[in-house]
Structure formats: C-alpha cells, structure tokens
Structure 1
C-alpha cells in the first residue's frame, strides 16, 4: 500500500471515530429520562457540538498551514475525548451546563479541529482519484454514526449496566 493510500485509510479511521457524534440520538432519550431534563434541553448539547464543529472547522481550515494537520488532529482528538469525559461527569452529577460545555463546546471544538486535517491532507496528497480518496475519508464520518449507534453504544451501555455516565467514560 502506498503512503498516500495509507494516509487515506488513516483519515477514514479518524473520521470513523469522530462520526460517533452523530449517534447522539441513541443517547438523547435515555439521558433526558435519567437526568430529568427535557428532550429540548438535552438536544442543545448536540446542537452546540455541531455548531462548534462548523465554526472550528472554518478556523482550522484557515490555520492548517500554520499549525499542520498532525497538531490540529492531536489537539482535536484530545479535546473530543476529554469532552466525553466531562460529559460523563455531567451525567453522573446531573449538571446540564457541564454537559453543554463537555459535549457541546469541548467536543465540538475537538471535532472541528480533527475533522479538517484528514480531508485537507488527503486532498493535498492525491492528484489522481482525489474525489475517491476524499469521499472515502468523509464516508468514515457517516459510518461512525452507524457503528456507534448500532454496535458500540448498545454494547457499552450493556457493559456499564445501563449507567450512562460510565458509558460516556468508555466512549
């Protein structure tokens, strides 16, 4: 496998992990029920995350040449993971604002930083089959929601005996 295809596969895997954000709908009702929050209140965490993804992606795309894709991806991945940890704490203690901060703000910023790097890198490496390689990477984002909502989330929820905060720690 050539280096550029290895980069495309790595980018697809990165997006697979990031795409788990779209499995929010799997968790929304159980979070609302267990914490006593309305679905509208709980949905704001996802809305903030997607908003921050968009805003941060625009910024990161502009700063890619300054900071480089590796640095942006590493910082983004760490923020996304830490956002899940903060969210788990928020769920354990029923702090809605902390859920907004962890999943919405931190997680969304992490998503935005890490999302742009694989797309930009693959686009730069491929002169032929650029559309295929870029499409493959973006496909990983959508596939992440499927893998999370149909396989990982039910498994993690079962492993944590239905405890949502522990499930978020696992993610």
Structure 2
C-alpha cells in the first residue's frame, strides 16, 4: 500500500512539473500581473470597450510623451516686442525623435495665445537626453508669461 501511494505521488509530481514547464511563460505573465503593484489603479480594457475602438496605431517606443519632459522655462533675452525663451527638454532615454512643442502665452493667469512648433521649427541637436532649446517669440500686447508642453503629433498625442 505504501508503494502504491509513492507511485501516485511520483506520477502527480511529474505531471505538475511537466505542466509547469510547458506553460511557464503563461504562468509567469499571469503571476506578474497579480503580484505587481505597478499596474495597480491603471485603467483596464474590458470586453465592453472593444466596440468603441475605431483605430489601432503602432507607435515607435522611443517617441513616447511619458519619456520627454519640459522644464526650466527661462527668458534669455527681451527686446521690444520679441523675446528669446529657453526650454529644457529631458528624455529618460536617448532618442533622435524630438517632440513638438506647445507654448502657452499668458496675460496674468489667462492663456491668450498658443504657439505650436513642430520639431523642424526649432533648432535642436541630433540626440535628445537633456537639452535647452531656444525659441524666438514675437509678443502681442499684454502677454507677460508662458508655459510649455511637449507632445508627439505623429503618434496620437496631439490634443
């Protein structure tokens, strides 16, 4: 009786190892989704959402707006009705894909004008990691400050 128990235990153990070996990739993918807190709180695609999908676009991973940030907005020079502004672009990984820029010109706290510049409309280097770009702007009366935003128009980030 004891040998019969060991025989079945050995067979069941062997089958468990075989199933685990064959389906290792699927088990690993599912277990990482269950155990990973990085996806917690992220919106998930459910079956009812599939009917509203109109287009699927594959984008270059190097051109992700999540990787490029804008900061250190400065006025480099100011002469009459024109100003030269500096905008620091940073990318978490070196990329040759430069973003388009939206520059919001403000009067007080109100945005009065928005300039949109494509990557060919401002001077920049050949590879982006951290770079300050200089952009000349002609001011209209009342414009006193600005903010900026980076986006990739060719990759569906334009709004």
TM-score by length of 1: 0.20
Which structure has the larger Rg over C-alpha atoms? Answer: 2
Q: Which has the higher strand share?
A: 2
Greater RCO, 1 or 2 (C-alpha within 8 Å, sep 6+): 1
TM-score by length of 2: 0.21
